[in-house]
């Protein structure tokens, strides 16, 4: 957490250094991180921007945790050929507690959480007309971090159970100087889900539907909050609430499917389908999805991830999604990640149609539209003939093809209780270890390591 203090101090220094007279009146340096960085409307908003910067860092939504979900669940469909050992351990389900990939996710996620906690602690200095938007953005980002932390580091949420299995520590107030109060243990999976849902329901009501003109479109909106709620409710098996959250996104009429499947990817700016994405420029560095999924031809490495016949054979040969795969460096590659900069898609409208279709089908309802119509929205966009009837298996299969290699694989297999190779969905090897450095540094985590590590 010391890094957070450094970040806050950096922003404080940027503001006070702009005036020589103010610089001469500096308070003692150790007081600047919170007293200055969170002392004004402009400063708090700048600190919030830093939370977005951490969110798109390589260890999390710059792409690595999307990649890692696919590696963990991709047995027989993709192959890791890269030289890096961290992803190889994840792909082989032989992770050690010192694995750099899982440590990076943990540290970057809690770094973002702490920045959000600091912003939430300083809302009173934010201009009244912007206060709810700032609050909503911080709640959204914090919830996003916690949802994926609990999905990777905790056992699967089991519908109808108490879900008292250990999740991750919930830290909801700013962390400054490290003391005994900071050495907290892990909350339960149920407690983590309850907190993120509570925060997101608040965020969804106070965030704008669209970003105001003249502001960045790459910040959270109510659509992003509802899309994340739909994903969370689906993961926990609350199909009515998942359906309703997805329907709110679709019925807002803010988003529309791109004309072609390929049009949803490799964009430098938001397409009509993007609900929430991270954007990379040359100043940010290459996004991690291109680095590992593509080849040098598009700015990636040598082709670390190969697409195997076991996945390619799932598609109808006339499917536009099949046509997006391409051959590079003697293997098949995903065509979704061939842009060094531009966007990493995190929430697309297509996901919401599939969530609504699945939930309506399970519940025997037609909220928003029929499962068949929602299914055909996605199926026909892929260049396939409209279906005249649809089953739950059809919808789940469509989801598997539509969202392939976007970070859904492991999480979908767990919620659907599917085996990963020879491993059952609830095998301890499919849960990340708590990073060794955290166990060593935090007495609150003593005896709370995950099974098998």
pLDDT of residue 33: 61
* Rounded Cα–Cα distance for residues 193 and 185 (Å): 16
pLDDT of residue 328: 96
- Can you say whether residue 78 is alpha, beta or left, with left for phi > 0 and alpha for psi between -120 and 50 degrees? beta
pLDDT of residue 99: 98
pLDDT of residue 11: 40
- Give the pLDDT of the chain (453 residues) as one tens digit per residue: 444 444 443 343 333 333 333 323 333 333 446 667 899 999 999 999 999 999 999 999 999 999 999 999 999 999 999 999 999 999 999 999 999 999 999 999 999 999 999 999 999 999 999 999 999 999 999 999 999 999 999 999 999 999 999 999 999 999 876 666 778 999 999 999 999 999 999 999 999 999 988 788 899 999 999 999 999 999 999 999 999 999 999 999 999 999 999 999 999 999 999 999 999 988 887 889 999 999 999 999 999 999 999 999 999 999 999 999 999 999 999 999 999 888 999 999 999 999 999 999 999 999 999 999 999 999 999 999 999 999 999 999 999 999 999 999 999 999 999 999 999 999 999 999 999 999 999 999 999 999 999
Contacts of 179 (CB under 8 A, 6+ apart): none
| Domain segments of the chain as ranges | 38-254+354-445
- Can you say whether residue 381 is alpha, beta or left, with left for phi > 0 and alpha for psi between -120 and 50 degrees? alpha
Q: How far lies 179's CA from each of 4, 161, 169, 176, 441, in Å?
A: 15, 35, 16, 9, 12
pTM of the model: 0.92
* Rounded Cα–Cα distance for residues 263 and 251 (Å): 22
Nearest to 247 by CA among 231, 230, 264, 259: 230
pLDDT of residue 177: 61
- List the CATH code of the domain at 38-254+354-445: 1.25.40.390
**Token pair 């007495």 in the structure block, residue:** 443
CA terminus-to-terminus distance, the chain: 24
């Amino acid at each position: 957490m010391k890094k957070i203090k450094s970040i806050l101090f950096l922003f404080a220094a940027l503001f006070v250094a702009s005036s020589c007279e103010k610089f001469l009146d500096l308070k003692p340096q150790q007081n600047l991180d919170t007293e200055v960085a969170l002392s004004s409307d402009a400063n708090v908003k700048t600190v919030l921007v830093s939370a977005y910067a951490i969110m798109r860092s390589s260890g999390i939504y710059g792409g690595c945790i999307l990649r890692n979900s696919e590696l963990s669940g991709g047995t027989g469909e993709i192959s890791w050929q890269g030289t890096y050992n961290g992803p190889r351990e994840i792909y082989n389900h032989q992770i050690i507690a010192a694995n750099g990939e899982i440590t990076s996710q943990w540290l970057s996620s809690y770094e973002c959480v702490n920045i959000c906690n600091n912003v939430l602690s300083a809302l009173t200095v934010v201009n009244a007309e912007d206060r709810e938007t700032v609050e909503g953005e911080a709640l959204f980002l914090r919830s996003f971090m916690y949802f994926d932390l609990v999905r990777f580091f905790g056992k699967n949420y089991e519908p109808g159970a108490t879900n008292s299995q250990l999740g991750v520590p919930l830290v909801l107030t700013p962390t400054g100087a490290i003391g005994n109060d900071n050495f907290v243990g892990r909350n339960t999976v149920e407690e983590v889900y309850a907190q993120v849902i509570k925060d997101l329901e608040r965020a969804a009501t106070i965030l704008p539907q669209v970003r105001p003109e003249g502001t960045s479109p790459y910040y959270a909106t109510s659509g992003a909050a509802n899309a994340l709620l739909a994903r969370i409710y689906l993961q926990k098996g609350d199909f009515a609430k998942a359906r309703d959250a997805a329907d709110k996104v679709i019925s807002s009429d803010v988003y529309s499917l791109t004309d072609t499947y390929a049009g949803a990817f490799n964009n430098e700016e938001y397409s009509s389908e993007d609900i929430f994405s991270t954007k990379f420029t040359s100043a940010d560095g290459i996004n991690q999805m291109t680095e590992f999924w593509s080849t040098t031809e598009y700015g990636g490495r040598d082709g670390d991830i190969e697409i195997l016949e076991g996945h390619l054979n799932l598609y109808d040969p006339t499917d536009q999604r099949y046509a997006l795969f391409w051959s590079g460096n003697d293997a098949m590659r995903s065509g979704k990640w061939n842009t060094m900069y531009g966007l990493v898609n995190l929430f697309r409208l297509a996901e919401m149609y599939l969530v609504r279709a699945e939930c309506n089908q399970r519940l025997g309802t037609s909220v928003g539209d029929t499962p068949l119509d929602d299914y055909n929205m996605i199926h026909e966009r892929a260049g396939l003939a409209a279906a005249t009837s649809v089953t739950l298996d059809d919808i789940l299969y469509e989801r598997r093809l539509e969202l392939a290699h976007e970070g859904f694989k492991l999480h979908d297999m767990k919620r659907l209780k599917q085996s990963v190779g020879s491993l059952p969905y609830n095998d301890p090897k499919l849960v990340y270890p708590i990073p060794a450095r955290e166990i060593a540094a935090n007495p609150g985590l003593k005896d709370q390591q995950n099974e098998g590590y």
